[in-house]
Amino acid sequence: MKPIDLSFKNNKDPKNGNILISDPFLDEDFFRRSVILMCDHTSEGSFGFVLNHYLDVDLHTLDTNFPDINARISVGGPVDTQSLYFIHALGDRLGGSSPITGDLMFGGDYTELLKLLEEDSSIKDKVRFFLGYSGWGKDQLGEELKENSWLVATNIKDKEILSTADNDFWKSCLEKQGERFKTISKFPLNPNEN
């Protein structure tokens, strides 16, 4: 019987719009069992947002000018944690945005976004908010990929990226990467708890 390969080896280079899934035993507070949307990846560096770590506060309580739409905020990463960022799939309805991939965009006119949400709260499912972001300097992410700290995923849909409903998003994303990753997704956080 052939043994099951349980390595966390990455074989893809990240591109804008790809997802990084952390190694199950990556021992960093911000990145432990995290899923990150790559918003920009160049030879000079990379940045993105952690999708599955949340604050227990509604955005409306932080900014009373923000519509009361139950906007769940994610902790985007350890950089610039006092600033609010957002991604969306509102296309040209929101000026000043930068494309990520497909329908996903980064940033834009915040005042215009508030206006759009006031006019039509149903678009809230097309926007995600983050405090802080995740950033890597030149060659830093490449080194982490060589160390197998991250798995690059290309099969996570925009709708899943924009949703804040899946509290097991790390596990869900990992399971979509194939049979061996389904097994890895079940590893306990602490191997001594097996």
Beta-sheet pairing, 72-75 with 127-136: parallel
* CATH of the structural domain 19-186, one choice from 3.90.650.10, 3.40.1740.10, 3.40.640.10, 3.40.1160.10: 3.40.1740.10
What pLDDT, on the 0 to 100 scale, is given for residue 84?
A: 94
- Residue 91, pLDDT > 80, answer yes
CA-based R_g, the chain, Å:
17
DSSP type of residue 115: H
Predicted model pTM: 0.91
Give the whole-angstrom CA distance, residue 59 versus residue 55.
10
Average pLDDT, the chain: 90
Domain locations in the chain as residue ranges: 19-186
Give the whole-angstrom CA distance, residue 1 versus residue 188.
25
Three-class DSSP category at 85: strand
**129-156 pLDDT tens trace:** 999 999 999 999 999 999 999 999 999 9
Two tokens, residue 134? 């995740």
